[in-house]
Structure 1
Amino acid sequence: MNAYFVTGTNTDAGKTLVTSALLCAARQQGLSTLGLKPVASGSDATPSGLRNADALALQAQSVPAVSYDTVNPHAFAPAIAPHLAADEAGCTLSAGGLANGLHSTLERHPRDLCLIEGAGGWRVPLNEAEDFADLAARLDLPVILTVGLTLGCINHARLTAEAIAADGLTLAGWAGSVLEADFAADTPRFSANLELLEDRLGAPCLGVIPHLDAPGAEAASHYLSLSCLTAQEPA
């Protein structure tokens, strides 16, 4: 199995779009897929329980199909930092507990490609002492970085890449997501920014998703490549 942890330069950097698009691209190649979002805040009440839009997007790209609870075992209603949402719900999150659950899920649902999406950025807290970086370290998986392409993204991307390396994990690749329609209007400067990111991040670029009027996994999948991921040794 090729399994990866997906993080972002920030909240709303485009992690779910990139994750679901990579899973969709894998499906189009006839590969089995699994998208997991162990913790999600900002969930809606439904007759079936709390449901998070990002987790639903990953569930839709998981083939063979799995239950919602498999994809997202910890869903919280308020759209706030996960550790605060968990605290308000009377739930204690820990890197060890989440990692154990994810290892069990991976054993029960082996797939050609599995992507585990974090919440927010690399240092978003899980509790008073741990953050999502600790979960990634426990899983010991290579990391895919989603870079939200907007003003300030170079600094955010480089700092995140440095933090990933400092935590002893491998940056397997990065994908860009254009967050504002006019950000890429100045093509020469936009291209120069991408070239700098490719040079400084030290990992292959999986592709750049332009600003889409109707963003979705299938539309975004055309801009991403799996070749750098599927060529690596299975995790």
Structure 2
Amino acid sequence: MKAISLFVTGTDTEIGKTFVSCALLQGFCARALRATALKPISTGAQLHNEILHNEDADLLFNASNIVLPLHLSTPYMLRKPAAPHIVAAYEGVSLDIAHIVACHRAAEQLADIVVVEGVGGVCVPLDDMKDTADLAISLQLPVILVVGLRLGCINHALLSAEAISTRGLMLVGWIANIIDPDMEFSTANVEAIQQRLDRKYSAPLLGTIPRIDSQRADEAARYIDIDTLLERMRGLLTL
């Protein structure tokens, strides 16, 4: 059977995309699936033992049970922690989407499920013409939206969902991640987003993750409806 694959994006940077991606991987591994991840473009990489490493990419690596070589899992490792198109231009790197697609195809041959984590939000530029949505389109993947719960999250979630839909991508579901534990009316915010994304995009809420230590993705996985997600993803394979 063809591997299941999905694209994880977020309402902003620093809202828990990697944390949620790791939680998804932990959930898939717990169901005896061969699970792996791609972080095709990472910024803020540092040199360790003569090898470039990125913290997010390393977390995804550790949450997977299928180990990919770095040239497949993170084909573009950029050093400066800034927008990828700016850093790529600064470092003289061309972000080739076709190359990322080839890496993803290779990963699909090795696993039952592949989680691809985008960089920043859905409209983050990759060069003068392409953005993160173009990458998801080229990969032909359904999208999971991670919504960081903090002031302004309703607007950010609805704008992101509209951008995903407008670009012809399928929003297969969304996950709320509490990043501000002191946020007032967090439940009301989740309900407001849920009502609108369900009605307009048929995109279910797959879980609300409370404030958890960022190293405990296994615990976060308990708050995600992994089985519903898998059912929806498998249904897409039959279309």
Same fold (TM over 0.5): yes
Residues 2-60 of structure 1 show CA distances to partners (whole Å, capped at 9, x for unaligned) of 11011000011110000000100111121110111000001111114110011011111
Structure 1 residue matching 2:128: 3-state secondary structure: coil
1:223 & 1:112 partners in 2: Cα distance?
Answer: 22
Which of 23, 38, 41 lines up with 1:39 in the alignment?
41
In structure 1, give the amino acid aligned to 2:123: R
Residues 161 and 99 of structure 1, relative CA distance in 2, 3 Å threshold = same
Partner of 2:118: 118
**Aligned residue number for residue 157 of structure 2:** 157
Structure 1 residues not aligned, in runs of 5+:
none
Structure having greater relative contact order (Cα 8 Å, sep ≥ 6)? 1
With the length of structure 2 as denominator, give the TM-score of the two structures: 0.91
8 Å CA contact 1:95, 1:132 repeated in 2: no
Contact 1:2 1:234 in 2 (8 A): no
Corresponding position of 1:131? 131
Residue 85 of structure 1 corresponds to 87
Structure 2 residue aligned with 1:97: 99
Identity of aligned residues (%): 38
Query: Does residue 30 in structure 1 map to residue 32 in structure 2?
Result: yes
Q: Where does 1:195-206 land on structure 2 (aligned, <5 Å)?
A: 195-202=191-198, 203-206=203-206
- Tell me the alpha carbon deviations over residues 182-232 of structure 1, each in whole angstroms, 9 at most, x when there is no partner: 11xx4xx22221111111112111111111245431121121121222102
Which of 54, 59, 63 matches 1:57? Answer: 59
TM-score (norm 1): 0.92
The CA RMSD measured in Å over matched residues stands at 1.5
Q: Which amino acid aligns with 1:127?
A: D
Distance verdict in 2 for CA 1:58–1:219, change over 3 Å: same
Number of residue equivalences: 229
- Contact 2:12 2:121 (8 Å CA) reproduced: yes
Post-superposition Cα deviations, 1:108-152, rounded to whole Å, max 9, x if no partner, equal: x2x222110000000111111111110111111110000011000
Helix, strand or coil: the match of 1:129? coil
Paired residues of 1:94 and 1:130 also in contact (CA < 8 A): no
Q: Structure 2: give runs of 5+ residues left out of the alignment.
A: none
Q: Specify the alignment match of 2:186 in structure 1.
A: 190
Q: After the TM superposition, which of the residue ranges 118-127 and 42-51 deviates more from structure 2?
A: 42-51
Checking the alignment, whether the CA contact within 8 Å between 2:68 and 2:107 is kept in structure 1 is no
